[in-house]
Every structure is written in C-alpha cells, then in structure tokens.
Amino acid sequence: MIDLDPMLTVHAWFTVVLEWFPYPFLVPFFGAFFGGEETILLISALAGGGTISFPVLLGMAFLGTIASDSLWFLFGKTFSSWLSTKPSLHTRLDTVSQFVSRLTREKDFFALLITKFLYGTRIIMIFYFARNRMSFLRFTIYNALVTAIWASVVCVVGWMAGRGVIWISDAFGNVSLGFIIIIVIMGAIYGIRIWLNKRIIEGKKM
C-alpha cells in the first residue's frame, strides 16, 4: 500500500525540486523575495530535514528580504505622488505610522523592527519612510540590521519546527502528527500577528 503521509509527500516534493533546480541555495532567496514570513517558515521547516544547511538558509533569506524591501522602498520613492491618490492605502499608512511613532517615539530603527513582525505593516512602513524623511542609504543600513534579527528569528523557528517533525516521527512513528503540530504552531503565529494588527494598531475593541 502506498504511503501518502502528507509531510513525507511535501518533503519528497521539496527534495525533488532542489535536485532538479541547478542552484538549490537560491530557493530561500526567491522564497523571501516573492513570499514573506510564512514562505520562509515553510522553507525553513522543510530545510530542517537536511535539504539545505542552516547558514545557507539564513543567508539567502536575509539577502532575498533585503532585495525585496529595497525595491519596495525605491517604488515608494518613485511613485509617491501616485500612492497619495489611493485613499485606502493613504489611510492605512497614516494608521500604521501614527501607531509606530507613538510606540517608538520616532525611532526609525525600532519602527522598522516592530513592523517586520506585525502582519500587513512591513511594506506600508517602507512606503512611509520612502515618502518622507529617510534616504535610501540610511534605510538600507537600518533595514540590514532589522532584517538580520527578523530572518534569524523566522529561520530558527522554522528550522526547529522541521527538526521537531523528525523527532516526533522517530519517537512516535507518526510523521503526520508532527506535521499537524507544525501547522497548528504556524497557524497560531499567523493568527497572533493578525490579532495584534486588528486590536492594537487599528484600535478595535476586543
């Protein structure tokens, strides 16, 4: 009988992709560039099975995020006038920037750090800095430090989650159980980020 264990299937698929792709070390880079925290968490969890070394995972996730953030910053600089004509985006930008300014007392570094971990605020805050007082060089320096912290946390959590699946499968002989636990943990992280965004930043009542 064919074993259709979901985690084994996903991990096997990921391994095949890495073998087929000529430069497997670029997978975390593209995951960070086109995806985000959830994508990096998933890739980190799968890499925890031994498909990609942790230093490569962390380094490529860092570079992919830096590249993506830099493009968003330049986009915000170039099209700042056009962005101002979008009422929903303008309102969102004001809401996030006011909250972060109150929390960080106008400290740009901490503003970038906080919005890296909150759902739906990273790009908005990048637009805010692009349209206002921050130069690209200053943004790059601050963002490199912030991204190093952010990528380390995300990659460690994902990597340990992947190792946890292996440990659970060895201990209980049930990979599906480990896969379910990881899904629950990632879902909880995602839910907490949305909750913080809704309740704290937007000021909605509980």
In a domain, 132, yes or no: yes
In a domain, 22, yes or no: no
Looking at residue 132, the DSSP 8-state letter turns out to be T
Q: Which of 39-48, 51-60, 129-138, 181-190 has the highest mean pLDDT?
A: 51-60
Domains held by the chain: number: 1
- 15 exposed, middle or buried (CB, 10 Å; 0-12, 13-18, 19+)? middle
Q: Which pLDDT belongs to residue 130? A: 84
Which range of residues forms the domain containing residue 90? 61-200
pTM of the model: 0.75
In a domain, 100, yes or no: yes
Task: Give the N- to C-terminal CA distance of the chain in Å, as an integer.
Answer: 50
Q: Which pLDDT belongs to residue 106? A: 64
pLDDT surpassing 60 at residue 200: no
pLDDT surpassing 80 at residue 3: no
Q: Which pLDDT belongs to residue 175? A: 62
pLDDT surpassing 80 at residue 147: yes
Q: State residue 114 phi and psi, 5-degree precision.
A: -65, -45
Q: Which pLDDT belongs to residue 15? A: 62
Both tokens of residue 5?
Answer: 């264990």
Distance CA 152, CA 116 (A): 12
pLDDT surpassing 90 at residue 69: yes
Q: Which pLDDT belongs to residue 138? A: 92
In a domain, 13, yes or no: no
pLDDT tens per residue across span 15-63: 665 666 667 788 899 999 998 888 888 888 878 777 788 999 999 999 9
Q: Which pLDDT belongs to residue 59? A: 96
pLDDT surpassing 70 at residue 201: no
Distance CA 176, CA 180 (A): 6
Half-sphere exposure of 206 (CA within 13 A, CB side): 3
Map tokens 């901490």 to a residue.
Answer: 110
Q: Which pLDDT belongs to residue 87? A: 66
In a domain, 6, yes or no: no
In a domain, 110, yes or no: yes
Q: Which pLDDT belongs to residue 187? A: 77
pLDDT tens per residue across span 75-91: 888 876 666 666 666 67
- The pLDDT of 140-144, averaged and rounded, is 95
In a domain, 5, yes or no: no
pLDDT surpassing 90 at residue 192: no
pLDDT surpassing 50 at residue 205: no
Distance CA 4, CA 2 (A): 6
